[in-house]
Chain A
């Protein structure tokens, strides 16, 4: 992926197997978020391709698709700088995540035809369930922007879960969290992975999060993949230590 003369990310190959939690780390500006943006269709890669095979049989080419189509195929994400629908309520935020799966057309929503009302009821129940999952059921009618930072991060995850993803991309979910919240987050990620049968790809700077939950880690520096492997391999890798601490 290049922007004019800047190569943000070059020759990055990664394979994420179904059911895995895979981490992506690297110093600031290494191109981690760029990779997320390429996978979710925000940027069109200048070269290369992204293949998505949700059940191992069918294979989707994600390269060049628009973000909404990619989300429909089952790839959803959260954002590094939180992007909630700030003026809307907590419940509405999660509810909107369901919209892409709505089968009724717009006129049956206006006329409130029975099949739509049933569908809407089901989606509200699902949204409420997700809110309960993240412990926000009591603040469901608050404005999303009025929530504390850690809650907003959780709400983003709940909103992404509402889209029924197969692959969930988390961009620094633990950013700005204290150790206690970070521990809870680790538990939470494990929990949703099992319950919703997810595959998770996450960017994180908190090493304890990455090292604890990732089965496989990719390390990126200046847009180039410098190491990959399981947590203990990564911890021992000289190149990784060098990239983070500089050459002594």
Chain B
């Protein structure tokens, strides 16, 4: 009975989401639609990072790097051939990519797969490290990707970046991918592999003694996380239309980390809400950057003021609700068991 109710609630939320997106597309101005798009992308990013950091307990800070891989994959694969010629005026693009023009879906999947493959290659040596060491190693890796992309002129157009990527991303794409991510990660965590990830997070020594191959499970979780990071990066490229290596700095990773921490490590529902709040919050606080006239006093606009205010809100939120926005009595969520 409870199982059935749960399914009904899920279907209801799904229907409301679709209706909401439909209405948003119809009645909201492009700026607001863009914020909705970004929210969807950040849901995917937040969940993929939570899988690695919150659920498997690996402190990885390489997300921006994997996003960059995904974004460039989509950018290069979907860009029209004539556009490619215009972009690569310093040095022509490598011949095997000069004449490809893929649809958005195959490009997104390719972005995820390449990113996941890279995740496995990087993860194999690096995931033997733990805690801060892993964080430093993955951080370094993300920087390496950025520097490599800045210098591979004939592949990524270097520091000039890519312009004129077709704007395929709309709310259906961004939220469609977000829903697929939510579905994938919830079901993953419900099964025995997901439980094994949690075991690895809780106690590595005990997990190994119970026959869980640490390395295999860590790499698996990392690869899934990287896959969705890559797809989200691809969506970002399709949304912005312009990408360059400097977009994928460490601050981007920290934005996602912030969502994960605010939403609660290991929590799916919290991450979704935090992603939407953080993304929308960043935008709604934008008025703080502009000059304000309070009648009796005139405040000159201070660029970056909203970040200050936003950070203060965050600090307060984290102090008041250190276990994430959604705190359940027993810390349980999406891990129900049927009997």
A residues with CB within 8 A of B: 40, 42, 66-68, 71-72, 76-77, 79, 83-89, 91-92, 95-100, 102, 106, 109-112, 116, 120, 123-124, 128, 141-143, 159-160, 163
The verdict on B187 contacting chain A, using a C-beta distance below 8 Å, is yes
Is B210 a contact of A92 with CB atoms below 8 Å?
no
The verdict on B303 contacting chain A, using a C-beta distance below 8 Å, is no
The verdict on B85 contacting chain A, using a C-beta distance below 8 Å, is no
CA of A106 to CA of B330, assembled, Å:
27
Is A120 a contact of B198 with CB atoms below 8 Å?
no
- In the complex, chain B residues 158-200 whose Cβ is within 8 Å of any chain A Cβ: 184, 187-188, 190-196, 198-199
CA of A95 to CA of B212, assembled, Å:
12
The minimal Cβ–Cβ distance linking B270 to chain A, given in whole angstroms, is 15
CA of A111 to CA of B191, assembled, Å:
10
- With a cutoff of 8 Å between Cβ atoms, the chain A residues found around residue B210 in the complex are 68, 71, 76, 96-97, 99-100, 159-160, 163
Size of interface on B: residues with Cβ below 8 Å to A:
32
The verdict on B220 contacting chain A, using a C-beta distance below 8 Å, is yes
With known contacts A71-B211, A97-B210, A159-B210, A102–B202 Cβ distance under 8 A: no
- With a cutoff of 8 Å between Cβ atoms, the chain A residues found around residue B193 in the complex are 99, 102, 106, 109
- Contact residue among B203, B209, B214 (Cβ-Cβ distance under 8 Å from A40): B209
User: Chain B: which residue is nearest A91 at the CB level?
Assistant: B337
Q: Which of B194, B206, B214, B338 has the most CB of A within 10 A?
A: B206
27 A-B residue pairs with CB within 8 Å: A42-B209, A66-B208, A66-B213, A67-B205, A67-B208, A67-B209, A68-B211, A77-B209, A79-B205, A79-B206, A85-B202, A85-B206, A89-B332, A92-B335, A96-B192, A96-B195, A99-B211, A106-B220, A110-B184, A110-B187, A110-B191, A111-B187, A141-B337, A142-B330, A159-B210, A163-B210, A163-B211
CA of A29 to CA of B79, assembled, Å:
68
The verdict on B339 contacting chain A, using a C-beta distance below 8 Å, is yes
CA of A40 to CA of B330, assembled, Å:
33
CA of A89 to CA of B328, assembled, Å:
14
Is B214 a contact of A112 with CB atoms below 8 Å?
no
Is A116 a contact of B195 with CB atoms below 8 Å?
no
Q: A92-B198, A92-B335, A99-B192 are in contact. List 16 more A-B contacts (CB 8 A).
A: A71-B208, A76-B210, A79-B209, A83-B205, A85-B199, A85-B202, A96-B212, A97-B210, A99-B193, A99-B210, A110-B191, A111-B187, A120-B191, A141-B332, A141-B337, A143-B331
- With a cutoff of 8 Å between Cβ atoms, the chain B residues found around residue A111 in the complex are 187
With known contacts A42-B205, A71-B209, A112–B337 Cβ distance under 8 A: no
Q: Which of B190, B205, B212, B220 has the most CB of A within 10 A?
A: B212
The minimal Cβ–Cβ distance linking B261 to chain A, given in whole angstroms, is 17
Is A112 a contact of B187 with CB atoms below 8 Å?
yes
Is B202 a contact of A87 with CB atoms below 8 Å?
yes
- With a cutoff of 8 Å between Cβ atoms, the chain A residues found around residue B194 in the complex are 109
Main secondary structure of the interface of B (DSSP, over half): helix
The minimal Cβ–Cβ distance linking B323 to chain A, given in whole angstroms, is 11
Is A85 a contact of B339 with CB atoms below 8 Å?
no
- With a cutoff of 8 Å between Cβ atoms, the chain B residues found around residue A76 in the complex are 209-211
- With a cutoff of 8 Å between Cβ atoms, the chain B residues found around residue A89 in the complex are 330, 332, 335, 337
With known contacts A106-B188, A109-B193, A143–B330 Cβ distance under 8 A: yes
Is A83 a contact of B203 with CB atoms below 8 Å?
yes
With known contacts A86-B202, A141-B330, A110–B188 Cβ distance under 8 A: yes
The minimal Cβ–Cβ distance linking A201 to chain B, given in whole angstroms, is 14
CA of A141 to CA of B337, assembled, Å:
9
User: Chain B: which residue is nearest A40 at the CB level?
Assistant: B209
Q: Which of A88, A95, A96 has the most CB of B within 10 A?
A: A96
The minimal Cβ–Cβ distance linking B208 to chain A, given in whole angstroms, is 4
CA of A240 to CA of B316, assembled, Å:
62
With known contacts A95-B195, A141-B330, A143-B331, A88–B220 Cβ distance under 8 A: no
- With a cutoff of 8 Å between Cβ atoms, the chain B residues found around residue A160 in the complex are 210
- With a cutoff of 8 Å between Cβ atoms, the chain B residues found around residue A97 in the complex are 210
CA of A112 to CA of B207, assembled, Å:
24
Is A124 a contact of B209 with CB atoms below 8 Å?
no
Is B192 a contact of A120 with CB atoms below 8 Å?
yes
User: Chain B: which residue is nearest A85 at the CB level?
Assistant: B202
CA of A92 to CA of B190, assembled, Å:
10
CA of A111 to CA of B188, assembled, Å:
9
CA of A67 to CA of B207, assembled, Å:
9
With known contacts A68-B212, A85-B206, A99–B195 Cβ distance under 8 A: yes
CA of A1 to CA of B313, assembled, Å:
55
- With a cutoff of 8 Å between Cβ atoms, the chain B residues found around residue A67 in the complex are 205, 208-209
- With a cutoff of 8 Å between Cβ atoms, the chain A residues found around residue B220 in the complex are 106
Which 4 A-B pairs give the minimum distances between C-beta atoms?
A: A100-B211, A109-B191, A71-B211, A85-B202
- With a cutoff of 8 Å between Cβ atoms, the chain A residues found around residue B208 in the complex are 66-68, 71
- With a cutoff of 8 Å between Cβ atoms, the chain A residues found around residue B339 in the complex are 124, 128
- With a cutoff of 8 Å between Cβ atoms, the chain A residues found around residue B337 in the complex are 89, 91-92, 95, 124, 141
With known contacts A42-B205, A72-B211, A83-B203, A109–B192 Cβ distance under 8 A: yes
CA of A87 to CA of B197, assembled, Å:
13
User: Chain B: which residue is nearest A106 at the CB level?
Assistant: B193
User: Chain B: which residue is nearest A112 at the CB level?
Assistant: B187
